[in-house]
């Protein structure tokens, strides 16, 4: 994927024009201003293209560098012309979406996974706790044992430095605020 820009919406134009942008355009191609972010985008774009994104779904990447002040994560979505009835043209397209820190009270576990370096299961538990679910309620919703949810929660605590559910809720609220 060469990251040539096919289209930009108003929000993209405004974001690219910011004083300290997270992304920049060079040679009509999109680049991250942070080297680590640029590397992560390149790797994920190649992976999506090579696997034809048939079962991969969106890829969420944590924001690195100065962009962390404003953005929580970036997601990449891969579109093949034959699977979209060529709505995006005759070429494969990659859609980049920035997720702001002031997101909704309901948080997508994939964004939480990227922002806090959690496993998929830990992120699901974290999102449910953030949504106000208790450990037993989260276990019932996920269809797993309470001990499994407790194990995931303890792992989240170890990774984030929180010690209680209220601490986790506060941490996530600070991320999205």
Q: pLDDT tens, 16-34?
A: 888 888 888 888 888 888 8
In this structure, the answer to whether residues 95 and 14 fall within a common structural domain is: yes
Name the residue among 12, 44, 37, 175 with its Cα closest to residue 107. 175
Query: Which of 82, 100, 118 lies at the terminal end of a domain, its last residue?
Result: 100
Q: What is the CATH number of the domain that holds 118?
A: 1.10.10.10
Contacts of residue 44, Cβ cutoff 8 Å, sequence gap at least 6: 59, 61, 76
pTM of the full predicted structure? 0.59
Q: How many CB atoms lie within 10 A of CB 31?
A: 16
CB 107 within 8 A of CB 80: no
Report if residue 1 sits inside a domain. no
Query: Which of 54, 78, 100 lies at the terminal end of a domain, its last residue?
Result: 100
In this structure, the answer to whether residues 36 and 89 fall within a common structural domain is: yes
Q: Give me the number of domains the chain comprises.
A: 2
- Does 46 score more than 90 pLDDT? no
Q: pLDDT tens, 101-133?
A: 665 567 889 989 988 999 999 999 999 998 888
């Amino acid at each position: 994927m060469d990251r040539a820009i096919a289209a930009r919406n108003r929000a993209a134009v405004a974001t690219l024009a910011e004083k300290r942008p997270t992304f920049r355009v060079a040679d009509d191609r999109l680049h991250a201003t942070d080297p680590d972010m640029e590397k992560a985008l390149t790797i994920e774009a190649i992976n999506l293209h090579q696997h034809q994104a048939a079962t991969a779904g969106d890829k969420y990447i944590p924001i690195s560098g100065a962009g962390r002040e404003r953005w929580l994560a970036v997601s990449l979505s891969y579109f093949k012309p034959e699977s979209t009835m060529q709505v995006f043209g005759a070429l494969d397209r990659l859609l980049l979406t920035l997720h702001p820190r002031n997101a909704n009270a309901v948080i997508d576990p994939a964004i939480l996974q990227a922002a806090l370096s959690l496993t998929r299961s830990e992120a699901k538990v974290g999102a449910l706790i953030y949504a106000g679910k208790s450990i037993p309620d989260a276990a019932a919703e996920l269809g797993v044992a309470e001990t499994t949810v407790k194990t995931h929660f303890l792992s989240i605590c170890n990774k984030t430095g929180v010690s209680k559910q209220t601490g986790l809720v506060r941490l996530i609220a600070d991320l999205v605020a």
